[in-house]
Structure 1
Amino acid sequence: MSLRFLPLLSAGLLSIATAAPLSAAPKAAVPPARASVDIRKATQVRLLNDLNFGYLSVTTAGTAVMNPNTDALTTTGGVVKIGGNPYSALFEGVSPVKGVVIVRIPKNPITLVRVGGTETMTVSNWTVDGSNSRNVNSKEPFDFKVGATLFVNANQVEGVYAGTFTVDVQYP
């Protein structure tokens, strides 16, 4: 009997040795991964005053520059200030969190169009009073002023010119 048993035993061992290796069963991460989000209100920004270059007279091309740090208007070339009350644009913001906010002013020029006409001027070289980065407290108002340079053409047609620009406030 022992002679028959040996071949059967070696055949069984041979089949075990040539079988494919077993794969480990998948295991879940311990602990399981989580997903989360923190939804907050956006910073609120409101316009308090528009950017106003006042009343200008033009003989040749030039500029009118509104400085938001001083609210002073300076002119160059044939552009002369003749009145009005020029001032920087004034905005008020409220951040939902304490931290640093970034005031983003336009990078590109905007076009002012004469009311009732097609004549244009451009405004660019945007500036903000102080720094674009501001430390603010949660839910407390902060303000900032925006100035720019108005480029006036020679023989600019008389009239009121208007256009719009956008500012954004980014918080962490």
Structure 2
Amino acid sequence: MGRTFLVVVGLLIMGSAAPAFAAPVTANKQAKAVVDILPPIAVRKLQDLNFATLGVVAAGTATVNPNTDVMTTTGGVTWVGGTPYSAMFEAVAPTKSVVHIRVPRASIVVTRVGGTETMIVDTFTISGAANRNVVAKEPFAFSVGGTLRVNANQAEGTYVGTFDVDLQYN
């Protein structure tokens, strides 16, 4: 008597995975790390931001316009003497590029020389465009103005503080 055997090959193929003895598959590829180092922009300060001499009878502000060097005052602050002017800078980019000029967004503190009294300078503005197309190795200038916040009963004296101007190019 003959026997009939049913061979199910399809189930064996579908259920089979990679042989248990197969080595893991790996791939390696290398990438380079590349950087271009550019020479810095040369920048120099030509003059400081100066609010001149103010008289104070109440709180107010003094604002120097960087395009005209005209100062306006509000509240109990009046201009009584001296010449107000914006800070002025000159820069030279090593290549033809777009230069991005950044002035502070935050306020800075000015402190009375020989004392502890302070005032705030904020709302810094720049003459002309903040992003400029410049020619390689040719000087360009810009001015920076701002607003001085004077307190009521502000102590008399000379007040000094510093602020940063950043230049980036690409």
How well do the aligned residues superpose, as a CA RMSD in angstroms? 2.0
Alignment-mate amino acid for residue 67 of structure 2: N
Alignment-mate amino acid for residue 119 of structure 1: E
Match in the other structure for 1:3: none
Provide the C-alpha distance between the structure 1 equivalents of 2:87 and 2:25, rounded to a whole number of angstroms: 67
1:35-74 alignment to 2 at 5 Å? 35-74=33-72
Match in the other structure for 2:80: 82
Alignment-mate amino acid for residue 140 of structure 2: F
Alignment-mate amino acid for residue 137 of structure 1: V
Match in the other structure for 1:138: 136
SS in 2 for 1:61: strand
Percent of matched pairs sharing the same residue? 55
Alignment-mate amino acid for residue 88 of structure 2: L
1:159 Cα deviation after fit: 0.3
1:90-169 alignment to 2 at 5 Å? 90-169=88-167
SS in 2 for 1:39: coil
Deviation >2 Å, runs of 4+:
18-26, 32-38
1:15-34 alignment to 2 at 5 Å? none
TM-score (norm 1): 0.81
TM-score (norm 2): 0.81
SS in 2 for 1:77: strand
Provide the C-alpha distance between the structure 2 equivalents of 1:25 and 1:61, rounded to a whole number of angstroms: 72
Provide the C-alpha distance between the structure 2 equivalents of 1:155 and 1:24, rounded to a whole number of angstroms: 79
* Structure 2: gaps (5+ residues): 1-18
Alignment-mate amino acid for residue 74 of structure 1: T
1:22 Cα deviation after fit: 8.3
